[in-house]
C-alpha cells in the first residue's frame, strides 16, 4: 500500500500566517464595520516600478508575434537575466560568473527545493526566531533540526560556538523577524566555521535591499564564502514582486562536498524539475536590475523605511524595547508587561484593530516578542502607530 510522507505528522499544527488569517477572518465576521490596520504578514503594498511594468508589456507584445515569440526558456535562467543579476552583485565588488546564478520563482520555493541537494540525514541548524519555512521544509524532508537561540544577549545575532554541530546552516540577514543584520566580522566567523566543519550555509538575503551603511548585503562579500555558501534571494521585497514571483539563487562553482559539485548538481536538478521561469518575468527582472530600475525601486523602499520610522517614533514615546526597523522592514518589539505574544496579538486585534505577528510563531524563543511590518500603506501605518502608542501608554 502507498505510504504518505510520515514526516508531515511532525509539523506543527498550523502555519503561522494561516493561524493569523483565521483569527482575523473570525474578527471580521463579527465586526464587519471596523477597519483593520495590517502590520502583520510581510507582503508589500506598493506597485511595481515603471521599468518593470514597461518590460512586462513589451515582453507580452513579443509573445504576440512569430518573430519575437519565446517558448520554453533555459531552465537555469535566460542568459541576459543571469548577467543582469551578476551585474547587480558586481556593484558591491562581488563578481559571480553568470552560470553561478540560477533563476527561481521566489525564495520560498527555492528554500524548500534546494534541500534536494543534501542528504536527509544531514542535520540543519536554524537560528531562532526564524522564518517558519526553514523549519517546516526541513521537517517535511525528515531532516533533524537544531536551533541556536537569538536574543537581546547577542543582539539577535547568534554566532557559532565550539559545541555547535550542523551540516546545513540557515542564516537570514537582514533577519525576518528581528530585523538584525550580521556585520562582516560576524559573517566571517560563520564562514570560517562552515569551511572548517564542511558545513554549507544557506544564506537568505531576501531583505538585502533594505540595508543602509557598510553592512554586507551578500554572504559572498565575505572571503571564503564561495566554498561554503549558497545564497537565496528574490525580487519580492527588493522590487515588490511578491505576487509577480521571481528570484535567484547563487551557487558558486567552487562549492563541493564529498567530491560532488553543488553547482553542477543544481543544473541537473533544474533541468529535470523545471522547464524554466516565464520569459515575461525574467524580462521584468532584467529591467529591475537596469540603472533606471534600480533607481526606481528605491522610491518604494524609501516609503517603507518612512513607515518603519513612524512606528519606531511611536514606540520611542512609550519606552518599550524594540530591535530592527533600520536595515529591515520589520520591527521586533518586546510585548508589554511580560505579556505572551498571542495574547498581545489578541489585544491589538480586539482593542485597536491592528494586526501584527506574534513572536512565538517564529519559534519558542520568540515568545514575549511581537513583529510589526513596515510594508503597509503610509496613512494606515500612521494610524496604526498612533493606536499602538496610545494602547501601550494605557497598559503601562
Q: Which residues bind ligand PLP (CB under 6 A)?
A: 42, 106-108, 131, 172, 176, 204, 206, 234, 236, 242, 247
Q: Are strands 229-234 and 247-250 parallel, antiparallel or unpaired?
A: antiparallel
Asked if residues 241 and 53 have their Cβ atoms less than 8 Å apart, the reply is no
Nearer to ligand PLP, 172 or 284 (CB): 172
- Which residues are CB-neighbours of 61 under 8 A, at least 6 positions away? 68
Least separation in angstroms between CB 285 and ligand PLP: 12
**Minimum distance from residue 365 beta carbon to ligand PLP (Å):** 17
- Closer of 105 and 318 to ligand PLP (Cβ): 105
Shortest distance in whole angstroms from residue 135 CB to ligand PLP: 12
Nearer residue to ligand PLP within complex by CB, 173 or 381: 173
d(CA 78, CA 87): 14
106 vs 359 by CB, closer to ligand PLP: 106
CB of 29 to ligand PLP, least distance (A): 27
- Non-local (6+) Cβ contacts of 209 within 8 A are 217, 237, 238, 239, 297, 301
Residue 387 Cβ vs ligand PLP, minimum distance, rounded to whole Å: 24
Buried b (16+ CB within 10 A) or exposed e, 193-223: bbeeeebbbbbbbbbbbbbeeebbbbbbbbe
CB of 129 or CB of 314, closer to ligand PLP: 129
Which helix (H) or strand (E) segment holds residue 190: the answer is helix 184-197
Closest approach, Cβ 186 to ligand PLP, in A, equals: 18
DSSP output for 312-369: HHHHHHHT--EEESSSSSEEEEEPGGG--HHHHHHHIIIII-EE-EEGGGG-GGGTTE
Q: Which is nearer to ligand PLP, 105 or 383 (CB)?
A: 105
Q: Are strands 330-334 and 322-324 parallel, antiparallel or unpaired?
A: antiparallel
Amino acid at each position: 500500500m502507498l505510504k504518505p510522507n510520515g514526516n508531515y505528522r511532525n509539523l506543527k499544527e498550523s502555519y503561522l500566517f494561516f493561524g493569523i488569517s483565521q483569527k482575523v477572518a473570525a474578527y471580521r465576521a463579527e465586526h464587519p464595520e471596523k477597519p483593520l490596520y495590517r502590520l502583520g504578514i510581510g507582503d508589500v503594498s506598493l506597485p511595481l516600478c515603471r521599468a518593470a511594468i514597461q518590460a512586462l508589456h513589451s515582453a507580452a507584445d513579443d509573445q504576440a508575434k512569430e518573430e519575437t515569440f519565446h517558448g520554453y526558456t533555459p531552465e537555469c535562467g535566460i542568459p541576459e537575466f543571469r548577467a543582469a543579476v551578476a551585474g547587480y552583485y558586481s556593484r558591491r565588488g562581488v563578481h559571480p560568473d553568470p552560470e553561478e546564478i540560477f533563476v527561481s520563482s521566489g525564495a520560498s520555493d527555492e528554500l524548500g527545493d534546494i534541500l534536494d541537494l543534501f542528504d536527509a540525514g544531514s542535520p540543519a541548524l536554524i537560528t531562532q526566531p526564524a522564518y517558519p519555512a526553514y523549519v517546516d521544509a526541513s521537517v517535511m524532508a525528515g531532516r533533524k533540526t537544531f536551533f541556536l537561540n537569538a536574543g537581546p544577549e547577542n543582539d539577535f545575532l547568534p554566532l557559532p560556538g565550539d559545541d555547535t554541530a550542523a551540516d546545513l546552516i540557515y542564516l537570514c540577514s537582514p533577519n525576518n523577524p528581528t530585523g538584525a543584520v550580521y556585520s562582516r566580522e560576524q559573517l566571517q566567523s560563520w564562514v570560517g566555521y562552515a569551511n572548517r566543519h564542511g558545513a554549507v550555509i544557506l544564506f537568505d538575503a531576501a531583505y538585502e535591499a533594505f540595508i543602509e551603511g557598510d553592512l554586507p548585503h551578500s554572504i559572498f562579500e565575505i572571503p571564503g564564502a564561495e566554498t561554503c555558501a549558497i545564497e537565496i534571494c528574490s525580487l519580492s521585497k527588493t522590487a515588490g514582486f511578491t505576487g509577480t514571483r521571481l528570484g535567484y539563487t547563487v551557487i558558486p562553482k567552487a562549492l563541493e562536498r564529498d567530491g560532488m559539485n553543488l553547482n553542477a548538481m543544481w543544473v541537473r536538478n533544474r533541468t529535470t524539475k523545471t522547464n524554466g521561469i516565464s520569459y515575461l518575468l525574467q524580462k521584468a527582472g532584467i529591467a529591475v536590475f537596469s540603472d533606471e530600475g534600480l533607481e526606481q525601486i528605491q522610491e518604494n523602499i524609501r516609503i517603507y523605511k518612512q513607515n518603519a520610522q513612524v512606528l519606531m517614533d511611536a514606540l520611542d514615546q512609550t519606552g518599550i524595547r524594540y530591535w530592527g526597523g533600520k536595515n529591515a522592514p520589520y520591527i521586533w518589539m518586546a510585548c508589554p508587561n511580560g505579556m505572551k505574544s498571542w495574547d498581545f496579538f489578541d489585544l491589538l486585534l480586539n482593542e485597536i484593530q491592528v494586526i501584527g505577528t506574534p513572536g512565538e510563531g517564529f519559534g519558542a524563543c520568540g515568545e514575549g516578542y511581537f513583529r510589526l511590518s513596515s510594508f503597509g500603506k503610509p496613512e494606515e501605518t500612521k494610524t496604526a502607530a498612533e493606536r499602538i502608542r496610545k494602547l501601550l501608554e494605557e497598559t503601562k
